[in-house]
């Protein structure tokens, strides 16, 4: 049996790495040649010999080491492995309970950022710093109430940013879910009902064939530069996302085969999908190929099909086609992004095209009855036919022959 004085005076001969001074019940004090002293407990669990560290002497006294030994033996009597319990305690010792909202938010952001694109990660962090951290950042997250979150989000609403306030609540919900296992109660419940209603972004889109034909005729009369004019004409023909259309590159086009290949890295996808996903293929109807060939002498020597008027190494701005639509008097009725809705709706309702082909054309991942996602690049052969049918249909609308077309379809 060890004593306090023996523990204090114990030393290790210089010719040895360490010595062990036994107490009782498998506990001993290990003394190293450098003077270190550690408490250890040797025990057996499920037939295997194991060693449990009980602390460093003199920080842990002889009396305290014996108390730890008895606690470990109590675990063993309950058929629990003290070493495994210790590892689990270390894994769970981190807690968000004492963190401020800013600390918890940054920790949440750090765990999510690997799966996000750089742009999304930056946009999320900027919103936290702009809208949430100034009022909530220094408050302990466990003490924050729903009323404080609501007051913070109403400040965002007051500047007319209803969508941003809705997204701010979404970020708060994710952060409170992140700390839920640490005993932090959810303070976000009931807030949605007290904010101004927001049901997502609906882009203005004309889906009436007659009115759409009027828009197409107006587009033909656009007097702006050839670059924006061509982008404006291609927008309804191809109905792809504005970002993809305005950053179209000549190297991504095969005008002989009538195909536009958009790299996965340029698509609206997760970071992992951008890096490992398949490209998105857009069949080009003959009308689109003709427009691009007409533009080629103007921009074909550069990278971008639609380069800026002054900076040829950059694409046209997101505002270019939008401004053109406003100049034609259609800006409030038809947005650039809204051409996707126009195409999707009229192809389904007027031309009765298979929805699977349309979802593939829009680069949407659709699922079957078993929840399996179809490949985004499927149905290329069918989509070639659909896109040519769509371009021909737009020609009919532009010629103001909707009545005659409906008569033919009915006969």
Q: Which backbone phi and psi does 192 adopt, to 5 degrees?
A: -55, -40
Q: Which CA distances in Å does 301 have to 130, 250, 306, 308, 312? A: 42, 9, 12, 13, 10
Q: Which two tokens stand for residue 250?
A: 């000549």
Helix axes 162-178, 118-127, angle to 10 degrees: 100
The CATH class of 101-194 is mainly alpha
CA–CA dist 347, 272 (Å, integer)? 32
Contact 76, 45 (CB under 8 A): yes
For the domain covering 209-410, report its CATH number: 1.10.443.10
For the domain covering 4-91, report its CATH number: 3.30.160.390
CA–CA dist 5, 365 (Å, integer)? 74
Domain spans, the chain: 4-91, 101-194, 209-410
**pTM of the predicted model as reported, rounded to 2 decimal places:** 0.55
Q: What parts of the chain have a pLDDT lower than 50?
A: 93, 368-376, 403-411
Residues ≥6 apart with Cβ < 8 Å to 337: 203, 241, 242
CA–CA dist 292, 227 (Å, integer)? 10
* pLDDT at position 410: 44
| Tens-digit pLDDT profile for residues 372-382 | 444 445 788 99
CA–CA dist 198, 164 (Å, integer)? 10
DSSP string, 23-38: -STTEEEEEETTS-EE
* pLDDT at position 406: 47
* pLDDT at position 378: 75
* pLDDT at position 404: 46
* pLDDT at position 402: 57
Q: Cβ-count burial of 212 within 10 angstroms (0-12 exposed, 13-18 middle, 19+ buried)? A: buried
Taken in order 236, 240, 243, 249, the sign of the CA dihedral is negative
Shared fold status for 101-194 and 209-410: no
């Amino acid at each position: 049996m060890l004593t306090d004085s023996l523990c204090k005076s114990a030393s290790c001969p210089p010719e040895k790495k360490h010595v062990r001074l036994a107490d009782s019940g498998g506990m001993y004090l290990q003394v190293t040649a450098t003077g270190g002293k550690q408490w250890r407990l040797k025990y057996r669990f499920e037939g295997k010999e194991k060693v449990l560290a009980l602390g460093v002497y003199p920080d842990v006294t002889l009396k305290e080491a014996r108390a730890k030994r008895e606690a470990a033996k109590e675990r063993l009597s309950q058929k629990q492995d003290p070493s495994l319990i210790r590892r689990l305690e270390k894994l769970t010792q981190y807690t968000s309970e004492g963190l401020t909202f800013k600390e918890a938010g940054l920790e949440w952001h750090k765990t999510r950022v690997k799966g996000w694109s750089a742009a999304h990660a930056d946009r999320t962090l900027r919103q936290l710093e702009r809208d949430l951290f100034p009022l909530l950042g220094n408050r302990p997250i466990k003490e924050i109430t729903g009323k404080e979150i609501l007051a913070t989000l109403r400040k965002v609403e007051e500047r007319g940013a209803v969508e941003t306030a809705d997204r701010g609540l979404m970020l708060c919900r994710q952060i409170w879910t992140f700390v839920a296992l640490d005993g932090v109660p959810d303070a976000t419940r009931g807030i949605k009902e007290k904010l101004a209603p927001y049901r997502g972004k609906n882009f203005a889109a004309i889906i009436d064939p007659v009115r759409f034909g009027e828009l197409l005729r107006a587009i033909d009369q656009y007097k702006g530069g050839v670059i924006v004019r061509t982008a404006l004409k291609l927008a309804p023909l191809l109905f792809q996302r504005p970002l993809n259309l305005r950053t179209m590159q000549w190297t991504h086009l095969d005008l002989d085969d009538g195909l536009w290949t958009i790299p996965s890295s340029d698509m609206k996808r997760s970071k992992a999908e951008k890096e490992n996903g398949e490209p998105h293929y857009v069949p080009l109807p003959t009308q689109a190929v003709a427009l691009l060939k007409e533009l080629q002498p103007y921009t074909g020597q550069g990278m971008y099909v639609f380069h800026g008027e002054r900076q040829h190494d950059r694409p046209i701005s997101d505002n270019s086609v939008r401004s053109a639509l406003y100049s034609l008097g259609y800006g409030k009725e038809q947005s650039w992004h809204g051409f996707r809705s126009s195409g999707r709706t009229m192809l389904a309702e007027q031309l009765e095209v298979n929805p699977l082909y349309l979802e593939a054309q829009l680069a949407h991942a659709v699922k079957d009855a078993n929840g399996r996602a179809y490949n985004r690049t499927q149905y290329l052969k069918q989509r070639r036919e659909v896109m040519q049918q769509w371009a021909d249909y737009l020609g009919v609308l532009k010629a103001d022959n909707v009545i005659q077309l409906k008569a033919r379809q009915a006969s």
